[in-house]
Amino acid sequence: MTQWTAKADPTKDFFIDMITRDIGLDECIFDLLDNSIDGASRHAQLNGRHNLNGYFADVLLNENTFEIKDNCGGMSLNDAREYAFHFGRRADAPKDAENSIGLYGIGMKRAIFKIGKIIKIRSATDSAPEEAFETNINVSSWAAKPEWEFDLDQISPDGFVGTEIAVSELRKGTASEFSDQIFVNKLRKDIGKYYSFFLQNGFEIKINGVAVTQHIYGVRDGEAISPYVHEYTDTETGVNVRIVSGVAGTPPEDAGDPNSLSKDSESWGWYVICNDRVVLAGDKTDKTIWGDAFPAWHPQYNGFVGLIFFTSDQPGELPWTTTKRQIDETLPVFRRATTFMRDATRKYLDYTNTRKANLDKAKAFESSAAIKAITEFKARAPEPALMKLPVFESAPKIKMGTVSYQQPVAILTKVAQALGNSQMSYKQIGQKTFEYYVENEVGE
C-alpha cells in the first residue's frame, strides 16, 4: 500500500480554537456543501456539461455521527497534500477556482474539527484513480503530537468518484443540535434558501434521506405592477452585477398590528448573492442600505424583496467573507452597487404610503399580478427597467388626527366577536368602534 504525507505550518497550539470559535454548526455544513458544489462545477466543466444534473451531496446527522457523501469529482492527491490538509494559506497555493464558492482551503478543516473528534475522509477522482486515498484522524491524539502530518493511505476506489467524510465522537454541543429535529428542519429549509440557484441548476442535496426543496425567489409582475431590473459590469473589478426587486408579498394593512407584521417577516428585505450562493438573506439593516442615508427598515415595508447578484470568475473580488454568511459592505464594488439598490427600493417605500388611502384598489392590482421567479426577468437595456406600481389620484387633503388607546386583550377579543370577525386586527377594532360611536352618538 502506498502512503503519502500531508504537512502544515507550525501554528498548532491555537489553530483548532481559532478556526472553530466563531462558526456555527449550520455554517460547518454549508462549508462542506460549498466544497461539494465547487467540485461538481469543476467536474461538469471538464466534461462539457452545462448544468449540475446528476451531482449530489447526501448529509446524515444524528446524536452519534455526521456524514457527507458526494459524487462531485473527488479531491486530487495534490490538492489534498498541498492545500486541503495544509493549515494556513500557502504562499504558493493555487488561486480559487473560477466562479467558486468554497474558498476550499479552510472550509473543510474548520467544519470537521468543529463537529467531532474521530474523522475519516476518503476521496477518489476519475482522472487519477490510482491516487484515491483515505485518511483517519483522531483529533485528541493528533493534537498531542508535535508533528503536523496526516497520513493519506492509498485505497482502491472500486468505481467510486467523489468524497466521503464521516465524523464520530461528536462534541457535546454538536450531538445535542444534531439530535434536535427543529435544528434539522431549519437546516433543510435554510439550505433550500441559500443554495436555491444550485438546486435549480440540477444539484441535489438530501438531509437524512429527505431531498431539500428549492426556495423559489419571486416578485409580482402584471399590467400595473412590475419589478426593477438592472444588470451592469462593475468597471473597476469586472464583476457582473444584476439587481431584481419588487413586490413579493402583500404589504400589511395595519402597520401597528403585530400579527400582520410578523407574517413571513424574515422573507422580506435585501438578499445578496455571490456566484449564485445566497450570502445575506432578508436583510433589514445598514449592512445593505437601510438607515444608511436612507430610511431605516419599517414593518410597513413588509412584502418587499430585492436581490442583488455579484458574479465573477475571481471570487476574491466579491463582497463576501470566508463564512459566506456575511458581506463586506465596505468594499467599493458593493458601495457602488448601493446607489442602484436605493433606486430599486425607493418607489416601493413611497407606494406603501399611498396604498393606505387606496387599500381596496391596491389589493386588486396586487392580486392580479402573478408572482414570477426571479430568473424569468432579464435586463434588456443598459438603463434599468424601473419598478412599476399603481399610481393613485390624490385624495383631498383633510387635516387628520390619531386616536390611540389600550384595552385588555380579553375585552378586545370579545368586541371583535361582537363585531362578527374574531380575526380583526386591533386597528380594525378601533376603527369599527369609533365608526359605531360616530354613527350612533354624533351622527352625520
HSE toward the beta carbon, residue 309, CA cutoff 13 A: 24
Please enumerate in sequence order all residues whose Cβ is within 8 A of that of 111, keeping only pairs 6 or more positions apart, or say none.
Answer: 23, 28, 29, 31, 32
Q: Is the pLDDT of residue 59 over 70?
A: yes
| Residue 385, pLDDT score | 93
Q: Is residue 44 part of a domain?
A: yes
Q: How far is CA 247 from CA 15, 107, 222, 358, in A?
A: 46, 36, 11, 17
The values of phi and psi at residue 91, to 5°, are: -65, -30
| Residue 104, pLDDT score | 42
First-to-final CA distance of the chain: 97
Global pTM reads 0.81
Q: Is residue 397 part of a domain?
A: no
Strands 3-6 and 65-70 come out as unpaired
Cell of 97: 477556482
Please enumerate in sequence order all residues whose Cβ is within 8 A of that of 443, keeping only pairs 6 or more positions apart, or say none.
Answer: none
Number of other residues whose CB lies within 10 A of the CB of residue 139: 17
pLDDT tens digits, 70-111: 999 999 888 887 777 765 444 444 444 455 555 444 567 778
Q: What is the CATH number of the domain that holds 63?
A: 3.30.565.10
Do 158 and 269 lie in a common domain? no
Domains of the chain: total? 3
Q: What is the CATH number of the domain that holds 257?
A: 3.30.230
Do 169 and 260 lie in a common domain? no
Do 318 and 292 lie in a common domain? yes
Number of other residues whose CB lies within 10 A of the CB of residue 30: 25
Comparing CA positions, the residue from 324, 327, 326, 328 lying closest to residue 30 is 324
Do 223 and 322 lie in a common domain? yes
Q: Is residue 153 part of a domain?
A: yes
Q: Is residue 385 part of a domain?
A: no
DSSP 276-300: TEEEEEEE-STTTTTTSSSPPP-GG
Comparing CA positions, the residue from 25, 20, 24 lying closest to residue 143 is 20
CA pair distance 154, 221, nearest whole angstrom: 56
CA pair distance 132, 171, nearest whole angstrom: 29
Do 53 and 95 lie in a common domain? yes
Cell of 87: 493549515
Do 204 and 246 lie in a common domain? no
Residues of the chain with pLDDT > 90, as a percent, come to 57
Q: How many helices (H) and strands (E) does the chain have?
A: 13, 16
Last residue in a domain, options 172, 188, 211: 211
**How would you label 233-272 residue by residue, b for 16+ Cβ within 10 Å and e otherwise?**
ebeebebebbbbbbbbbbbbebbebeebbeeeeebbbbbb
| Residue 48, pLDDT score | 93
| Residue 397, pLDDT score | 64
Do 149 and 259 lie in a common domain? no
pLDDT tens digits, 415-431: 888 887 877 788 888 88
Do 247 and 353 lie in a common domain? yes
The values of phi and psi at residue 246, to 5°, are: 170, -160
Cell of 318: 466579491
Longest dimension (CA), the chain: 98
Do 364 and 265 lie in a common domain? yes
Comparing CA positions, the residue from 260, 251, 247, 264 lying closest to residue 370 is 247
Q: Is the pLDDT of residue 226 over 90?
A: yes
Please enumerate in sequence order all residues whose Cβ is within 8 A of that of 354, keeping only pairs 6 or more positions apart, or say none.
Answer: 391, 392
Comparing CA positions, the residue from 85, 174, 89, 68 lying closest to residue 135 is 85
Q: Is residue 310 part of a domain?
A: yes
| Residue 95, pLDDT score | 47
pLDDT band at 121 (very low <50, low <70, confident <90, very high): very high
Name the 3-class secondary structure at 48: coil
Do 129 and 192 lie in a common domain? yes
Q: Is residue 87 part of a domain?
A: yes
| Residue 111, pLDDT score | 85
Give the residue numbers spanning the domain of 414: 409-442
Q: Is residue 383 part of a domain?
A: no
* Amino acid identity, position 190: D
Grid cell 455521527 — which residue? Answer: 65
Please enumerate in sequence order all residues whose Cβ is within 8 A of that of 161, keeping only pairs 6 or more positions apart, or say none.
Answer: 71, 73, 74, 124, 125, 126
Strands 204-207 and 56-61 come out as parallel
| Residue 255, pLDDT score | 57
Name the 3-class secondary structure at 398: coil
Do 184 and 310 lie in a common domain? no
For the residues 15-33, what does the mean pLDDT come to?
77
Q: Is residue 15 part of a domain?
A: yes
Residues 31, 107 contacting (CB under 8 angstroms): yes
Last residue in a domain, options 211, 239, 270: 211
Grid cell 465547487 — which residue? Answer: 38
Q: Mean pLDDT score of the chain, rounded to an integer? A: 86
271 forms beta bridges with 307
User: Length of the chain in residues, anyone?
Assistant: 444
Last residue in a domain, options 176, 191, 211: 211
Please enumerate in sequence order all residues whose Cβ is within 8 A of that of 91, keeping only pairs 6 or more positions apart, or say none.
Answer: none
Do 302 and 438 lie in a common domain? no
Q: Where are the beta strands (DSSP E) in 171-203?
A: none
> What DSSP element (H or E) covers 430?
helix 426-437
pLDDT tens digits, 339-362: 999 999 999 999 998 888 888 999
